[in-house]
């Protein structure tokens, strides 16, 4: 496509789809027109992929996820279609900067954090690999809340991405399913029949997901809830118009809003309804597709794979059994075996509070037949493993992790360490009963969005050296290594980083009126706020460093800017306290005339995918400092390494594997290992001991406890100091001293820019393994037994 053709297509859509002429169009109109013009380019590959999937009778992969944190889609589509320069020229002619058009798109935040973003990377990789696949989720009217700060405290506001037309979706009014809740179970001719009392309609909305070079496109199918009837006709006819619309309001709440809790489920009835709503609709939809191709249900495991992204869709087990048994007449035991052949489960956390459990009362009220089936699943499992039983239903609760494990033929962890710990802890008993069921699939990230799209300067350099094969085969980045010492390579690498930093500096100035020095080290921690992720360890180190610089203002300090970003769940009080502390510390440090040229702290509000794309390419240092054993994998850690930011981190999650790949000498390791953490906790007074042994830590904690950062409101942050000095479950104090040491090592290396850039470039060159293409190949081979439908190249 030429830029003239693209321009004509844009003008066509501007006129005929948006009803505007160029003279009156605002940026929104241009963005919509460009999106529709680009979407046109996706439609044919999308249809071709659909046809090829049917024609080849390929096994289909269905990725079931409550969350798809897709962010903006326009630039990604343009990049994957190879239309970036074309779009650039088209808008040069139109006379509008392309960046302005691209940044007009709202960030679709249909997820909380890592789990949701992983789903989005996986869907893109499946398209790039040409695997017949579909993502199934919920079309939330409101995604993750918007965050702002008032006096340093987090304020939440509703998110409203659908306020404007969503350019990428196709509404499918004909693709609907009736989803029931409640009611009774009766028996007829030996078959159980569930007769739900209430119901609503799940309606599909499809977003095509185009893969690299436009060779294949899959569908992200999101379900929206609608009432079975808009009005209660009796009430309507009797004149009570308002009350008559109550059923509509009720039904629509199901897909109204994303639960904002990351790793801590709330156990609310509405949440269980959301889970069943999207899972049931997705299964029905997949079975409908299967029925058009095959007539023997026993073929199901050969032709269909359902991946459960965490336990959120784990009701798929009993629901699929119910369909096969009650509706399709399979024997219960065959139904269980067949369902298990299709299902697999990914676990994303070991945090005990994160494992979903539903009271049997609640589940029985909404899904009476499913509770019966879960009992039968348990019974069949007990029969299969008579020596020792582990059940999903226990003490009046349904444990969704156990249910997903028992109903999946494979269960995977998301990093080598996490998978090992899973075997030793949460699923110890089940692992002993089924030693082949647990497998590891270390997470990955899509290089199209996270390197090519987000970091065009670095990408340009890589492509100059290697050609563009690396985008589809990220391990080719290794080919950079022999060039690192070539004349000029490191200079170009450093220049790309420096230019990215200057862009960030300009943006921060423009949007937050803060002055940052692009020569300072940009030390970045961006992720959800959680005690286990230990943003408070980071800010304590900043406080201690500030105190030390004040003691010795003429010292040889390496200038740093500590950048934070992340949302706290609205109900997570302590995480919100940490945000407040960081903002208060920032206010004091940034206003200090003596120290602020060496140390600044910035907390950027409303961190999201779009902000990550801006920050990561401009980062020097990646903070991955969770308590060992708590971060299942991390994926941000991979994005930083790929973009040439070395890690300071613990031996946790995928950090372990990142360090193995980039080399220990290119990774700033500190802290206790997972077993050391467990042992340390056995000391009742571990925090007190650590504080007594490190005067820096003691002084920093004193400052937090006192009024240094609590302008006129002394003791405002005492909760944090008290928590850390007493039980300190996440062993912040015990890791502080070693963290400080590692940070000073970072300072020393950064002061030698040649050495630093060498290390940074090696991080890029050696991180190719962390592509989500590699993760998807692993799932295809070890879990799904499926493959690409594209001809081998």
Kindly list the catalytic residues: 348, 527-528, 533, 635, 639
Residues that bind ligand GPK (CB under 6 A): 112-115, 118, 262-263, 310, 348-349, 354, 414, 443, 631-635, 653
CA distances, 137 to each of 234, 479, 635 (Å): 34, 38, 21
Measured from the CB of residue 489, what is the shortest distance to ligand GPK in angstroms?
Answer: 32
Nearest alpha-carbon partner for 526 in 442, 589, 644, 618: 618
| Residue among 497 and 527 whose Cβ is closer to ligand GPK | 527
CB 202 within 8 A of CB 278: yes
Rounded Cα gap, residues 680 and 694, in angstroms: 17
Measured from the CB of residue 433, what is the shortest distance to ligand GPK in angstroms?
Answer: 24
Measured from the CB of residue 211, what is the shortest distance to ligand GPK in angstroms?
Answer: 21
Measured from the CB of residue 471, what is the shortest distance to ligand GPK in angstroms?
Answer: 23
| Residue among 263 and 535 whose Cβ is closer to ligand GPK | 263
CB 668 within 8 A of CB 742: yes
CA distances, 694 to each of 434, 533, 700, 720 (Å): 47, 22, 10, 18
Provide Rg for the chain, Cα atoms: 27
Helix (H) or strand (E) holding 695: helix 695-705
| Residue among 326 and 531 whose Cβ is closer to ligand GPK | 531
| Residue among 348 and 369 whose Cβ is closer to ligand GPK | 348
Measured from the CB of residue 354, what is the shortest distance to ligand GPK in angstroms?
Answer: 5
Nearest alpha-carbon partner for 645 in 465, 521, 516: 521
> In the block, which residue shows the tokens 């299709």?
342
Q: What is the DSSP letter of 592?
A: -
Rounded Cα gap, residues 508 and 505, in angstroms: 5
| Residue among 30 and 68 whose Cβ is closer to ligand GPK | 68
Q: Which residues are CB-contacts of 247 (< 8 A; sequence separation ≥ 6)?
A: 227, 228, 229, 230, 231, 232
Q: What one-character-per-residue DSSP string does 138-179 give? A: E--SB-SPEEEEETTEEEEE---GGGS--TT-EEEEEEEEEE
How far is CA 233 from its chain centroid?
43
Rounded Cα gap, residues 372 and 759, in angstroms: 58
| Residue among 66 and 549 whose Cβ is closer to ligand GPK | 66
Longest dimension (CA), the chain: 89
Measured from the CB of residue 477, what is the shortest distance to ligand GPK in angstroms?
Answer: 21
CB 247 within 8 A of CB 254: no
Measured from the CB of residue 677, what is the shortest distance to ligand GPK in angstroms?
Answer: 16
Measured from the CB of residue 565, what is the shortest distance to ligand GPK in angstroms?
Answer: 15
Rounded Cα gap, residues 283 and 304, in angstroms: 10
| Residue among 418 and 483 whose Cβ is closer to ligand GPK | 418
CA distances, 328 to each of 192, 319, 322, 373 (Å): 11, 12, 9, 15
Tokens coding 695: 């005067």
Rounded Cα gap, residues 637 and 525, in angstroms: 10
Measured from the CB of residue 536, what is the shortest distance to ligand GPK in angstroms?
Answer: 17
Rounded Cα gap, residues 103 and 98, in angstroms: 9
Measured from the CB of residue 370, what is the shortest distance to ligand GPK in angstroms?
Answer: 22
CB 621 within 8 A of CB 746: yes
Which residue number is nearest to ligand GPK in terms of Cβ? 114
Label the pairing between strands 343-346 and 68-71.
Answer: unpaired
| Residue among 45 and 113 whose Cβ is closer to ligand GPK | 113
| Residue among 378 and 531 whose Cβ is closer to ligand GPK | 531
| Residue among 66 and 281 whose Cβ is closer to ligand GPK | 66
| Residue among 75 and 263 whose Cβ is closer to ligand GPK | 263
Nearest alpha-carbon partner for 354 in 103, 109, 167, 631: 631
CB 118 within 8 A of CB 450: no
Q: What is the DSSP letter of 728?
A: -
Measured from the CB of residue 570, what is the shortest distance to ligand GPK in angstroms?
Answer: 15
CA distances, 282 to each of 320, 658, 673 (Å): 11, 35, 41
Burial class (CB in 10 A: 0-12, 13-18, 19+), 2: exposed
CB 35 within 8 A of CB 74: yes
CB 43 within 8 A of CB 77: no
CB 773 within 8 A of CB 124: no
| Residue among 101 and 445 whose Cβ is closer to ligand GPK | 445
Query: Which residues on neighbouring strands pair with residue 53, listed in sequence order?
Result: none
Measured from the CB of residue 396, what is the shortest distance to ligand GPK in angstroms?
Answer: 24
Measured from the CB of residue 264, what is the shortest distance to ligand GPK in angstroms?
Answer: 8
| Residue among 75 and 112 whose Cβ is closer to ligand GPK | 112
Rounded Cα gap, residues 758 and 762, in angstroms: 6
CB 602 within 8 A of CB 508: yes
Rounded Cα gap, residues 236 and 231, in angstroms: 7
Helix (H) or strand (E) holding 247: helix 246-253
């Amino acid at each position: 496509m030429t830029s003239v053709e693209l321009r004509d297509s844009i003008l066509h859509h501007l006129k005929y789809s948006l009803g505007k002429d160029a003279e009156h169009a605002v940026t929104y109109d241009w963005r919509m027109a460009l999106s529709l013009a680009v979407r046109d380019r996706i439609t044919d590959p999308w249809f071709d992929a659909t046809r090829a999937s049917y024609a080849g009778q390929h096994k289909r992969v269905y990725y079931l996820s409550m969350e798809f944190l897709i962010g903006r889609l326009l630039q990604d589509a343009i990049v994957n279609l190879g239309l970036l320069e074309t779009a650039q020229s088209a808008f040069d002619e139109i006379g509008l900067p392309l960046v302005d058009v691209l940044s007009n798109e709202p960030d679709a935040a249909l997820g909380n954090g890592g789990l949701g973003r992983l789903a989005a990377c996986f869907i893109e990789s499946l398209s790039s690999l040409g695997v017949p696949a579909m993502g199934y989720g919920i079309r939330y009217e409101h995604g993750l809340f918007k965050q702002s700060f008032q006096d340093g405290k987090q304020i939440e506001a509703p998110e409203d991405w659908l306020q404007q037309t969503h350019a990428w979706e196709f509404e499918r009014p004909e693709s609907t399913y009736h989803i029931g809740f409640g009611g009774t179970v009766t028996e007829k001719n030996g078959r159980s029949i569930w007769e739900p009392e209430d119901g609503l309609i799940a309606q599909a909305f499809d977003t095509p997901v185009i893969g690299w070079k436009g060779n294949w496109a899959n569908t992200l199918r999101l379900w929206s809830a609608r009432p079975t009837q808009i009005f209660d006709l009796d009430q309507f006819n009797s004149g009570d118009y308002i009350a008559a619309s109550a059923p509509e309001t009720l039904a629509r709440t199901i897909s109204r809003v994303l639960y904002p809790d990351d790793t801590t489920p709330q156990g609310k009835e509405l949440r269980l309804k959301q889970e069943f709503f999207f899972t049931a609709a997705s299964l029905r939809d997949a079975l409908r597709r299967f029925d058009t191709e095959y007539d023997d249900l026993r073929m199901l495991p050969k032709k269909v794979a359902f991946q459960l992204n965490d336990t959120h869709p784990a009701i798929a087990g009993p629901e699929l059994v119910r369909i096969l048994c009650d509706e399709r007449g399979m024997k219960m035991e065959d139904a269980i075996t067949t369902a298990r052949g299709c299902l697999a489960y990914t676990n994303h956390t070991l945090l005990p509070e994160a494992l979903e459990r539903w009271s049997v009362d609640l589940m029985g009220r909404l899904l009476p037949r499913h509770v019966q089936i879960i009992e039968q699943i348990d019974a069949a499992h007990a029969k299969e493993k008579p020596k020792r039983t582990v059940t999903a239903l226990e003490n009046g609760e349904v444990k969704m992790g156990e249910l997903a494990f028992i109903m999946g033929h494979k269960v995977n962890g998301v990093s080598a360490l996490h998978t090992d710990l899973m075997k030793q802890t949460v699923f110890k008993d089940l692992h002993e009963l089924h030693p082949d069921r647990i497998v590891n699939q270390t997470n990955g990230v899509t290089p199209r969005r996270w390197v090519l799209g987000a970091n065009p300067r670095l990408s340009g350099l890589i492509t100059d050296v290697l050609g563009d094969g690396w985008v589809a085969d990220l391990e080719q980045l290794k080919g950079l290594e022999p060039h690192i010492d070539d004349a000029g390579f490191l200079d170009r690498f450093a220049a790309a980083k420096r230019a990215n930093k200057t862009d960030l500096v300009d943006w921060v100035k423009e949007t937050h009126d803060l002055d940052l020095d692009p020569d300072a080290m940009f030390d970045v921690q961006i992720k959800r706020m959680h005690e286990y992720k230990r943003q408070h360890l980071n800010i304590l180190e900043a406080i201690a460093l500030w105190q030390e610089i004040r003691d010795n203002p003429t010292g040889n300090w390496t200038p740093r800017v500590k950048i934070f970003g992340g949302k706290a769940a609205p109900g997570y009080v302590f995480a919100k306290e940490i945000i407040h502390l960081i903002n208060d510390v920032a206010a004091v440090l940034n206003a200090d005339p003596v120290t602020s040229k060496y140390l600044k702290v910035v907390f950027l509000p409303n961190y999201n995918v779009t902000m990550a794309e801006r920050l990561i390419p401009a980062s020097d240092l990646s903070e991955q400092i969770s308590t060992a054993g708590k971060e299942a994998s991390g994926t941000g850690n991979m994005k930083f390494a790929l973009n040439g930011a070395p890690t300071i981190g613990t031996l946790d999650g995928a950090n372990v594997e990142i360090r193995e790949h980039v080399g220990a000498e290119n990774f700033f390791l500190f802290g206790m290992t997972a077993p050391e953490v467990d042992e340390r906790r056995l000391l009742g007074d571990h925090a007190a001991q650590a504080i007594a042994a490190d005067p820096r830590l003691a002084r920093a904690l004193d400052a937090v406890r006192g009024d240094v950062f609590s302008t006129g409101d002394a003791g405002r942050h005492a909760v944090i100091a008290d928590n850390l000095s007493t039980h300190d479950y996440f062993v912040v104090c015990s890791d502080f001293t070693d963290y400080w040491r590692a940070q000073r090592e970072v300072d020393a290396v950064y002061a030698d820019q040649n050495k630093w850039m060498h290390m940074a470039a090696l991080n890029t060159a050696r991180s190719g393994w962390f592509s989500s293409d590699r993760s998807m190949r692993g799932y295809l081979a070890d879990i799904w037994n499926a493959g690409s439908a594209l001809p081998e190249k």
